[in-house]
């Protein structure tokens, strides 16, 4: 473990929030502060490899009611990289299976003197409900189709690292916009930092109502691909759908998958992103997912830095 750099000994002045629940309610300055702190942690930990004593004495609990690989693992590692204790909660082996409510479960865990609770839940608003009823900090790790603020931040951090600024960029979110919490957090964050955002996909997954958020709506990837600086390819979330939104996966891939032919019509420096998990051959072909313009694994690494920043900012604001 190395010593904490002086600039990380206290949280930046613009940040006063005890919880991170969404990007909709954050100001552009607060979003920039979170990105700056994540970048400092990434550099101070030598690309998220070494430990810092920034959160020594802090305990965080990962309260996940939905499956997760990247988010859960990176929150756990982020806490440990900063010297905090991290505890995993499994709904299937807890008293939830005996009928205990979410709030009673959360209050029970909080009474064990924890400092932060990271929650993923299928119901939109679950993190907000806990934030109103608990004294510890609450971080939203995804609430149904509502928001996924740390995913939005890590996507924006990845773009900023490769382009220097968000202002003036054209960023397209392609795929299942209707059911994507990642799309909503990206839209709020990117718009506040000055990007032009396009949402693209079948009309059954991308309605004209999205224009009310100040974004451009397109149903044809071939019409927009040449003017995009960034393509963020979102997974089709079949688990949240009651009817099939298009005739077949093959037809969807034909119309919306980023493939070699479309890359030939894209800008030379386009960034290919995906929040994962990716379905190769559906949203993106393997050669593009693993190609030179892909920053998908950079996003995963930045997830550690952003979650270090999130835990640090909310717990410091609580003290």
Tell whether residue 293 is among the known ligand binding residues.
Answer: no
The Cα 252–Cα 202 span in angstroms is 8
Tell whether residue 71 is among the known ligand binding residues.
Answer: yes
Q: Are the C-beta atoms of residues 307 and 74 closer than 8 Å to each other? A: yes
User: How does DSSP assign 134-150, residue by residue?
Assistant: -SSEEEEEEETTS--HH
Give kind and range of the element (H or E) at residue 80.
helix 70-81
Collect all residues with Cβ–Cβ distance below 8 Å to 188 and sequence separation of at least 6.
Answer: 22, 23, 24, 26, 147, 152
Among 155, 122, 126, CA closest to 139: 126
Tell whether residue 181 is among the known ligand binding residues.
Answer: yes
Extract the tokens encoding 175.
């795929």
Other beta carbons within 10 angstroms of residue 17's beta carbon come to 17
Tell whether residue 98 is among the known ligand binding residues.
Answer: yes
Collect all residues with Cβ–Cβ distance below 8 Å to 121 and sequence separation of at least 6.
Answer: 65, 66, 102, 127, 142, 143, 144
The Cα 300–Cα 71 span in angstroms is 9
What's the Cα-to-Cα distance from 55 to each of 17, 64, 82, 310, rounded to whole Å?
17, 22, 5, 12
- 52 three-state secondary structure: coil
Tell whether residue 59 is among the known ligand binding residues.
Answer: no
Tell whether residue 250 is among the known ligand binding residues.
Answer: no
Beta bridge partners of 230: 171, 271
Q: Are the C-beta atoms of residues 62 and 116 closer than 8 Å to each other? A: no
Tell whether residue 192 is among the known ligand binding residues.
Answer: no
Tell whether residue 240 is among the known ligand binding residues.
Answer: no
The Cα 279–Cα 311 span in angstroms is 30
Tell whether residue 120 is among the known ligand binding residues.
Answer: yes
Binding-site positions for L-aspartate read: 98, 181, 235
Annotated binding site: 70-71, 98, 120, 148, 151, 181, 235, 276-277
Query: Annotated binding residues for carbamoyl phosphate, as ranges?
Result: 70-71, 120, 148, 151, 276-277
């Amino acid at each position: 473990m190395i010593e904490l750099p002086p600039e990380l000994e206290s949280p930046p002045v613009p940040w006063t929030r005890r919880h991170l629940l969404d990007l909709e309610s954050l100001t552009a300055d607060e979003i920039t502060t979170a990105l700056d702190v994540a970048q400092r942690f990434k550099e101070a930990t030598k690309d998220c490899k070494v430990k810092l004593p920034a959160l020594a004495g802090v305990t965080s609990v990962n309260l996940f009611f939905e499956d997760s690989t990247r988010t859960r693992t990176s929150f756990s590692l982020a806490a440990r990289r900063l010297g905090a204790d991290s505890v995993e909660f499994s709904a299937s082996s807890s008293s939830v299976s005996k009928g205990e409510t979410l709030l009673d479960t959360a209050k029970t865990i909080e009474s064990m003197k924890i400092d932060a609770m990271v929650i993923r839940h299928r119901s939109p608003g679950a993190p907000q409900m806990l934030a109103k009823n608990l004294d510890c900090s609450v971080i939203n790790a995804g609430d149904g189709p509502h928001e996924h603020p740390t995913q939005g931040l890590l996507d924006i951090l990845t773009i900023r690292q490769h382009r220097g600024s968000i202002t003036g960029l054209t960023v397209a979110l392609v795929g299942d916009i209707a059911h994507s919490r990642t799309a909503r957090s990206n839209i709020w964050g990117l718009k506040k930092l000055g990007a032009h955002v396009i949402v693209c996909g079948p009309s059954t997954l991308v309605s004209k109502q999205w224009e009310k958020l100040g974004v451009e709506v397109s149903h044809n990837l071939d019409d927009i691909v040449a003017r995009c600086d960034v393509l963020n390819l979102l997974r089709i979330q079949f688990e949240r759908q009651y009817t099939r939104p298009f005739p077949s996966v093959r037809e969807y891939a034909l119309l919306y998958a980023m493939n070699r032919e479309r890359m030939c019509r894209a800008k030379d420096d386009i960034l290919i992103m995906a929040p994962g998990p990716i379905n190769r051959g559906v949203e993106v072909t393997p050669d593009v997912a693993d190609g030179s313009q892909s920053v998908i694994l950079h996003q995963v690494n930045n997830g550690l830095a952003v979650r270090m920043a999130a835990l640090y900012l909310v717990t410091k604001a609580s003290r």
